[in-house]
Amino acid sequence: MPFIDLSTVPQFEPLPGVHIRTPFGKHIMLSYLEMDEGAIVPTHSHPHEQAGMLIRGKMELTIGDETRVVEPGAMFIIPPHTPHRAVAVGGPCLALDIFSPPREDYIELQNRYIPPVG
């Protein structure tokens, strides 16, 4: 399916105040990430390369040993296995994250709610 209607993609709350929708293909995954004010994605790492862009709001983003408050238009790339953390500051925020390869844990979450096609 080359076109995605975001309203048809299930939303998950993997952490309190953190809402994601994760359409994916064979080699790439999009993550439409909405965070409530003060919501925290704690420090973690994964084997996937991650890139993203903040679309709305402000986010305190830590990648490795560097922390910045980023605003709309800020882009970032997180290498595999690099510790990172995010906090929504001053209100809710919206980001688009991209993972390669797709995150298996997110696919498993999505498959719990969507029956396989075919």
Q: At 43, which CATH number? A: 2.60.120.10
Q: How confident is the model at residue 118 (pLDDT cuts 50, 70, 90)?
A: very low
Helix (H) or strand (E) segment spanning residue 29: strand 29-35
Q: Flag whether 23 is in a domain.
A: yes
Query: In the chain, how many domains are there?
Result: 1
3-state secondary structure of 42: strand
* ω into 42 cis (within 30 of 0): no
Q: Flag whether 88 is in a domain.
A: yes
- What is the pTM for the complete model shown? 0.90
pLDDT per position as a tens digit, 39-61: 999 999 999 999 999 999 999 99
Q: Flag whether 9 is in a domain.
A: no
Query: Residue 44: which domain range?
Result: 15-113
What mean pLDDT do residues 62-91 have?
A: 98
For the beta carbon of residue 63, count every other beta carbon within 10 angstroms.
17
Q: Flag whether 90 is in a domain.
A: yes
- Type of residue found at 61: L
Please check the confidence at residue 116 and state whether its pLDDT lies above 90: no
Contact (Cβ atoms closer than 8 angstroms) between residue 69 and residue 60: yes
